[in-house]
A and B are shown apart, each in its own frame.
Chain A
């Protein structure tokens, strides 16, 4: 068994910017942002920060209609994850420093991870 210490901290969308800012001030590195579909219209978004090999995950739960604030003001490189979330899941992110508006990842179907696609049916 390995010992990769990690924690998951659920937070409200409204507290996201404050919590991320705290991570930045404490010297955490942004490891990744990842989205998981957990219901018909519910998504978990994990913001993973690393410091000394300890992974701290801030988790928000949103719907496709929820507009979430961009964290690129604190972590400039977060635009790759935020654009990815938008292009694959249809998550609305406001204020991305480099906003590709749906053209960062070219997909043959719109939001392939955001809707259930039935064979033969166009999303």
Chain B
């Protein structure tokens, strides 16, 4: 029997922007088992519902993540609105959709850069993040914040975007699309990238479904689940096709994210064409009394905000289930049987967001 050794991977590692620890059990260079460990930066955000009023908690929810912050805030707001039977103005729904899709563009471009970095393609990393800057500029221009937007509130949104600005954003997206086409052509057709990602970290459709894989991790294995199809915000009024692939390897997960970039641009441009004039918020009175499991599609997959109120200004519970937590079992499955050199690529391929997980 080959001697087994344990190699610690993380919590500090060049490819890990945030700390997660994996004990890799190796036989020669092959990984035979993996034991994950998290909790290095657990913040206990959920406990803050006891000290922050439900209207203030939007700011807390938004700070769960530094990448998909807007979607966290929006999902929390939608959940509370559902409990309180609040009908949000249509323009606010469209604005929420636009900012959500900009978040997806920002997140996927960030991930593409990190993914390129994981297999040593530094130039590709810089190009992805150069395009990402243009997305962050739009956030700054429309919300005042590049990372934390603070525009979502219970009952609508705080800021409007002028129709002239929306037209300019739509036009800018045409040039961004061209840049993304050039970028994704390298990810999808370059021999070096394919060599490092094809047949690496394979996850079958059945495993992905039963292990709870969500987002591009699940869709890359053919699990056709995208919560945007439930029609929250303005998604029910827009047309888009879900992106899936069936190979289940790191390349497939990359392919899904690359195609979703174009889908997001299309969704934003559709929303800009269809957005109606009108108010952006309604007055909210009372306090939530009831419970709701609100789900939304983050860039990394299904997000669940469970909200329970008892009619007072303090919620009883806010439970946030982030996509990365749900993707950890799938990551273990992908790593079993892989080569040690492929571990960084496979770990990055699920787009781990530890800040979210350690809410």
On A, residues with C-beta under 8 Å from B are 1-4, 6, 8, 24, 29-32, 34-38, 46, 48, 50, 53, 55, 57, 75-77, 79-81, 84, 87, 98, 100, 103-107, 112-113
Contacts and interface: CB of A to CB of B under 8 A. Distances in A.
B214 to A, nearest CB: 9
B39 A105 contact: yes
B211 A77 contact: yes
Given A36-B319, A105-B38, A106-B39, A4 B212 contact: no
Interface in B24-82: 35, 37-40, 42, 44, 46-47, 78, 81-82
B283 interface: no
18 contacts: A3-B230, A4-B293, A4-B294, A4-B295, A30-B212, A31-B326, A32-B306, A34-B321, A35-B319, A46-B306, A57-B293, A87-B39, A100-B37, A103-B37, A103-B39, A104-B39, A106-B42, A107-B39
B138 interface: no
Contact of A38 (B78, B302, B316): B316
* Highest count of chain B CB atoms <10 Å: which of A2, A31, A48, A76: A2
A102 B342 CA distance: 30
B294 A36 contact: no
Interface in B320-358: 321, 325-326, 328-330, 358
B194 interface: no
A107 B85 CA distance: 37
Contact of A113 (B47, B230, B304): B47
B179 interface: no
Contacts of B81: 1
B304 A48 contact: yes
A84 B329 CA distance: 14
Contacts of A84: 325
Contact of A29 (B47, B85, B210, B294): B210
A80 B167 CA distance: 45
A77 B326 contact: yes
Nearest to B229: A53
Interface string B297-331: 00000101010100000001101010001101110
A116 B358 CA distance: 21
Contacts of A1: 81-82, 85, 87
* Highest count of chain B CB atoms <10 Å: which of A80, A81, A104: A80
A55 B295 contact: yes
A27 to B, nearest CB: 9
Given A34-B319, A112-B44, A2 B230 contact: yes
A90 B313 CA distance: 27
B232 interface: yes
Which 10 A-B pairs rank lowest in CB-CB distance, beginning with the nearest? A77-B329, A105-B39, A106-B39, A32-B321, A2-B232, A34-B319, A77-B211, A36-B317, A77-B212, A30-B212
A48 B329 CA distance: 17
B227 interface: yes
Given A4-B295, A36-B316, A76-B329, A29 B212 contact: yes
Interface in B214-246: 225, 227, 229-232
Contact of B293 (A38, A55, A80): A55
A36 B293 CA distance: 13
A36 B320 CA distance: 12
A36 B229 CA distance: 29
B231 A104 contact: no
A3 B328 CA distance: 29
Contacts of B294: 2, 4
Given A8-B291, A98-B35, A107-B39, 11 more contacts: A4-B230, A4-B293, A36-B306, A46-B293, A48-B293, A76-B211, A77-B212, A77-B326, A77-B330, A105-B358, A107-B44
B9 interface: no
B209 interface: yes
A112 B47 contact: yes
B227 A53 contact: yes
A21 to B, nearest CB: 13
Contact of A80 (B227, B230, B302, B329): B329
